[in-house]
Amino acid sequence: MGVPKKHKTRSGRDQRRSHHALKAKTYAACKNCGAPTRMHEICSSCGYYKGRAVRKVK
Provide the pLDDT for residue 57. Answer: 85
d(CA 19, CA 37): 26
pLDDT at 1: 83
Predicted model pTM: 0.59
Residue 33 lies in a domain: yes
Residue 45 lies in a domain: yes
Q: Give pLDDT, residue 4.
A: 87
The reply to whether 53 falls in a domain is: yes
The answer to whether position 4 is within a domain reads no
> Per the domain annotation, does 2 fall within a domain?
no
Q: What is the pLDDT of residue 35?
A: 96
Range of the domain at 55: 27-58
Number of domains in the chain: 1
Q: Is residue 57 part of a domain?
A: yes
Helix then strand then coil, % of the chain, to nearest 5 = 15, 15, 65
Give the chain's residues under pLDDT 70: none
